Amino acid sequence: MDIAAILGAIVNEMRGIADRGMLPGYIPPLTQVDPQRFGMAVTMADGRMHVAGDADEAFSIQSISKVYALMLALETCGDPIWQRVRQEPSGTAFNSIVQLESEHGIPRNPFINAGALVIADILLTRFGAEGARARFLQFIRDRDDALPPIAFDEDMARVEYESGFRNAALANYMRTFGNIENPVDAVLKQYFLQCSVTMSCRQLAGTGRGLMRGRTAEPASRHVPTVLALMMMCGHYDGSGAFAVRVGLPGKSGVGGGILAIVPGIASIAVWSPGLNAQGNSLLGTLALEKLVRATGWSVFTPHCP
Ligand SMILES: NC(=O)CC[C@H](N)C(=O)O
């Protein structure tokens, strides 16, 4: 299968599409990004990397960071984290507050904002403020040591901190149920820093290698199947069902327009197109993944031999 040719064709097709979705107006720096940008990268289990379009341009990974935060929390704090965040799809927007009241401050899953705030709180309790920042960044860097340095975008984190009233409300509300242990301020700072990490598609696909669990990959974490199951069910918020139907891969989106998708045992895929659909997921990113999966037969719901 000629993955490079498939990616090249998809990039060409995407260039010609006029409706590129909406930029997220509530995070001002993200409205400055050129919606014409489009990149894709695929890392295969044998280590080969294929890239196309703007695959080396760094973008804000935003909620894709929730995957790494969850993995770090699972690997360092283990299954007790599931007492504070559940494993169920929410069916609500990424920043929704409605379920928290009737569900006593326990978020549905770690990929909606409320759940990710709890995970940030867990990391803060475990490592302290300085330690949690450092461990988080190191954890991503350790996913692929061939990568150029990955960093926080401190300006992005500050802007979100100054205007993130909804996230502040979520954290304060959960604190009233005792499900946030640290000062809300510190939790928000940790969460926004995590969201602010910038990476290119090439880097993002590289950091997904551990989730792909290719035959040549390093020993996989026992938590990988859990993380992939949650990505499939919850990785696109109230668009997760449609994403599973259209693409058929565990994936995680961010409002920066990136999506990380995993073909277990076969490939780690990153796509970036800044315009979003109504659920806040990359409009063309989703379409491109649909096309890639159709061309390769990589949906986990399609029988295939690696
Ligand atoms: N879906 C997302 O990427 C949301 C992340 C963003 N930092 C927020 O908290 O709103």
In a domain, 305, yes or no: no
Same domain, 211 and 173: no
Instruction: Find out whether 191 is annotated in a ligand binding site.
Output: yes
pLDDT level of residue 294 (50, 70, 90 thresholds): very high
How far, in Å, are 252, 258, 271, 304 from residue 105 at the CA level? 23, 29, 33, 41
- Choosing from 147, 162, 195, the residue where a domain stops is 195
Is 98 among the catalytic positions?
Answer: no
**Backbone torsions φ then ψ of 119, nearest 5 degrees:** -65, -40
Average pLDDT over residues 247-263: 98
pLDDT level of residue 145 (50, 70, 90 thresholds): confident
Instruction: Identify the active-site residue in 60, 63, 90, 253.
Output: 63
Instruction: Find out whether 68 is annotated in a ligand binding site.
Output: no
Is 237 among the catalytic positions?
Answer: yes
Is the pTM here over 0.95, yes or no?
yes
Is 161 among the catalytic positions?
Answer: no
Query: Please, what is the average pLDDT of the chain?
Result: 95
Average pLDDT over residues 254-277: 97
H or E element that contains 190: helix 184-196
Instruction: Identify the active-site residue in 11, 255, 263, 271.
Output: 255
Same domain, 16 and 47: yes
Beta-bridge mates of residue 253 = 259
Backbone CA torsion sign across 258, 259, 260, 263: negative
Q: 48-62 burial string, b = 16+ CB within 10 Å, else e?
A: eebbbbbbebbbbbb
Question: CATH number of the domain that 159 lies in?
Answer: 3.40.710.10
H or E element that contains 42: strand 39-44
pLDDT value of residue 214? 52
Same domain, 135 and 54: no
In a domain, 301, yes or no: no
**Backbone torsions φ then ψ of 265, nearest 5 degrees:** 80, -5
| Neighbour count for residue 290 (Cβ, 10 Å) | 18
Instruction: Please say if the pLDDT value at position 118 is more than 90.
Output: yes
Cβ of residue 67 lying under 6 Å from some atom of ligand 1: no
Beta strand 267-272 pairing with 59-60: unpaired
Same domain, 57 and 202: yes
Distance 220 CA to ligand 1 centre (A): 28
Pocket test for ligand 1, best of 59, 195, 237 (most atoms within 8 A of CB): 195
pLDDT level of residue 149 (50, 70, 90 thresholds): confident
Same domain, 68 and 57: no
pLDDT in tens, 151-160: 999 999 999 9
Same domain, 142 and 223: no
pLDDT value of residue 303? 78
pLDDT > 70: what percent of the chain?
A: 97
Instruction: Find out whether 167 is annotated in a ligand binding site.
Output: yes
Distance 4 CA to ligand 1 centre (A): 31
Beta strand 39-44 pairing with 258-263: unpaired
pLDDT in tens, 211-250: 997 544 456 688 999 999 999 999 999 999 999 999 999 9
Instruction: Identify the active-site residue in 68, 237, 247, 252.
Output: 237
In a domain, 179, yes or no: yes
pLDDT level of residue 199 (50, 70, 90 thresholds): very high
In a domain, 207, yes or no: yes
Is 299 among the catalytic positions?
Answer: no
- Choosing from 137, 167, 195, the residue where a domain stops is 195
In a domain, 306, yes or no: no
Q: Domain span at residue 209? A: 3-62+198-296
H or E element that contains 41: strand 39-44
Distance 118 CA to ligand 1 centre (A): 14
pLDDT value of residue 216? 47
Distance 254 CA to ligand 1 centre (A): 7
pLDDT level of residue 144 (50, 70, 90 thresholds): confident
Q: Which of 17-21, 108-112, 140-144, 223-227 has the lowest mean pLDDT?
A: 140-144
- 17 by Cβ neighbours in 10 Å (0-12 / 13-18 / 19+) ranks as middle
Q: How many domains are contained in the chain?
A: 2
Cβ of residue 255 lying under 6 Å from some atom of ligand 1: yes
pLDDT value of residue 205? 97
In a domain, 75, yes or no: yes
Is 293 among the catalytic positions?
Answer: no
- The residue assigned the tokens 């090249």 is 8
Cβ of residue 60 lying under 6 Å from some atom of ligand 1: no
Same domain, 230 and 281: yes
pLDDT > 90: what percent of the chain?
A: 91
Instruction: Please say if the pLDDT value at position 78 is more than 50.
Output: yes
ipTM of the complex in this document: 0.97
